[in-house]
Amino acid sequence: PRLGSTDEGSTVVGTAAAAQLVPLAEAWTRGAMKLPPLSWVPGSRAVRAWALAAGEADGDRYVLGLDPHCAESYAGLATSLMRTGVAPTLVGTRGGRPGLRVAGHRRLVRLLEMIGDPPNRAAADSWPRV
């Protein structure tokens, strides 16, 4: 994988072109829009990657960041996360830092069950707390 950043300072992860990824890219693309497949249920690894890439502790809540340039994906991502037992609230759509906020003890416990422990001490400050 290649790591980089956008002009706005957001992290970008990419891979070399691979024929095996074409069906995945097609499943996540409808026309010019990037959308999750309608029946997608993110597994633990996907949610952990999301937390590592764009997760942030927010007091006694946790926010999984969303692409500010892809507002059409927000509802589908929220629905997909709900299917895992983590019901989020969409926040920050007017401030430019959109995210899915997870609040409440049971939801945070479920999120932590999915993503596990932080990868290192440095990441612990941005990890969910219960």
Tokens of 68: 């500010």
Q: Name the band, by pLDDT with cuts 50, 70 and 90, for residue 71.
A: very high
Q: What is the pTM of this model?
A: 0.83
Residues counted in the chain: 130
Angle, alpha carbons 86-98-50 (nearest 5°): 50
User: What is the separation of C-alpha 88 from the centre of its chain, rounded to a whole number of angstroms?
Assistant: 11
Cβ pair 104, 113 in contact under 8 A:
no
Q: Is the pLDDT of residue 101 over 80?
A: yes
User: What is the separation of C-alpha 106 from the centre of its chain, rounded to a whole number of angstroms?
Assistant: 19
